A and B are shown apart, each in its own frame.
Chain A
Amino acid sequence: DAEITQSPRHKITETGRQVTLACHQTWNHNNMFWYRQDLGHGLRLIHYSYGVQDTNKGEVSDGYSVSRSNTEDLPLTLESAASSQTSVYFCASSGWSRTDTQYFGPGTRLTVL
């Protein structure tokens, strides 16, 4: 069955380290998204991509970067992790239209000490 996966599921790192969270989907979806979920803020969009080589900044993009070299993957990189980036991160994907329904991965819980 087609699916969307995230790895690792849990990560503890130290302030200042570079961290990369993986997102992989097998639906052949064109659109991919990264969100973070924090208490009191719901889900907020970090970065998104509407196709290979396309990346865009979302609402809370500072300190994060993404690259899209193929259809299946959109890795999220924290260049220099900060304690404020402790959060649960969700990857999502949707079909070909930008307004298609987004389906979410299982999430990655990241703790920055």
Chain B
Amino acid sequence: AQKVTQAQTEISVVEKEDVTLDCVYETRDTTYYLFWYKQPPSGELVFLIRRNSFDEQNEISGRYSWNFQKSTSSFNFTITASQVVDSAVYFCALSAGNAGGTSYGKLTFGQGTILTVHP
């Protein structure tokens, strides 16, 4: 079975601070996919990023960056110079990629981290 752990239930920062959201995963599949989704106060789930298990390059998109380390089974998300609009619940998710496995193609979500950015 696969598992995603987001140990930080809630994080509170002041605007312009950098913040890192942790994500640790467990899977027996040799191929897998990792995702981050954002859920703002309005409630919808917004896709942010997808990484493949065979691509450990870090990714940067504006103020957002992601650090994928297979050695520690982690896929952490950093927001640089946080803004009030970043306040949301952030979910890390894992999809198994080995065809034929029981978890193939199914998303397993972490519990989510509530990020509050104060002005």
Residues of chain A having any CB pair with chain B under 8 Å: 31, 33, 40-45, 48, 50, 58, 88, 90, 92, 97-99, 101-107
Interface string of B24-46 (1 = CB under 8 A from A): 00000000010101000001111
Residues of B within 8 A of A105 (CB): 44
For this complex, 12 residue pairs linking A to B, each with C-beta atoms less than 8 Å apart, are A43-B91, A43-B109, A45-B107, A58-B106, A90-B45, A98-B99, A99-B33, A101-B50, A104-B45, A104-B47, A106-B44, A107-B43
Residues of B within 8 A of A97 (CB): 105
Q: Measured between C-beta atoms, what is the minimum distance from A11 to chain B in Å?
A: 15
Residues of chain B having any CB pair with chain A under 8 Å: 33, 35, 37, 43-47, 50, 91, 95, 97, 99, 104-107, 109-112
User: Among B47, B50, B91, B99, which residue has its beta carbon within 8 angstroms of that of A42?
Assistant: B91
Residues of B within 8 A of A101 (CB): 35, 47, 50
List the A residue with the shortest CB-CB distance to B43: A107
Q: Measured between C-beta atoms, what is the minimum distance from A111 to chain B in Å?
A: 15
Instruction: Say whether A106 contacts B43, CB under 8 Å.
Output: yes
List the B residue with the shortest CB-CB distance to A101: B50
CA distance A33 to B37 in the complex (A): 16
CA distance A103 to B48 in the complex (A): 10
List the A residue with the shortest CB-CB distance to B33: A99
CA distance A45 to B2 in the complex (A): 13
Instruction: Say whether A98 contacts B50, CB under 8 Å.
Output: no
Q: Measured between C-beta atoms, what is the minimum distance from B102 to chain A in Å?
A: 11
CA distance A107 to B97 in the complex (A): 27
CA distance A69 to B35 in the complex (A): 30
Instruction: Say whether A104 contacts B44, CB under 8 Å.
Output: yes
Instruction: Say whether B95 contacts A99, CB under 8 Å.
Output: yes
